[in-house]
């Protein structure tokens, strides 16, 4: 997620958010992969409506 989905401030960029939301609306399953501990990763993705 770092350096790809998230910017240097550890936030998802608007472009990434909009792109993933659109793909999800088209039926694409979005799955996050990270080496972060589950409790940290869950905090980052809990409010993302496109994560399956």
The radius of gyration computed from the CA coordinates of the chain, to the nearest angstrom, equals 11
Q: pTM (2 decimals)? A: 0.73
CA distances, 40 to each of 7, 10, 35 (Å): 16, 12, 10
Question: Quick one: average pLDDT of 27-50?
Answer: 85
CA angle 23, 2, 13 (to 5 degrees): 50
Q: pLDDT by residue (tens digit) across 1-27?
A: 667 788 888 888 899 999 999 999 999
Count of domains for the chain: 1
Question: Which has more confidence, 51 or 9?
Answer: 9
| Beta partners for residue 51, in sequence order | 30
For the record, the structure tokens of 16 come out as: 């990434």
Residue 52 has pLDDT above 70, yes or no: no
Find the domain containing 30 and state its range: 1-52
């Amino acid at each position: 997620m770092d350096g790809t989905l998230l910017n240097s401030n550890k936030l998802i960029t608007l472009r990434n958010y909009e792109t993933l939301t659109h793909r999800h609306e088209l039926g694409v399953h979005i799955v996050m992969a990270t080496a972060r501990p589950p409790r940290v990763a869950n905090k980052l993705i809990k409010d993302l409506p496109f994560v399956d």
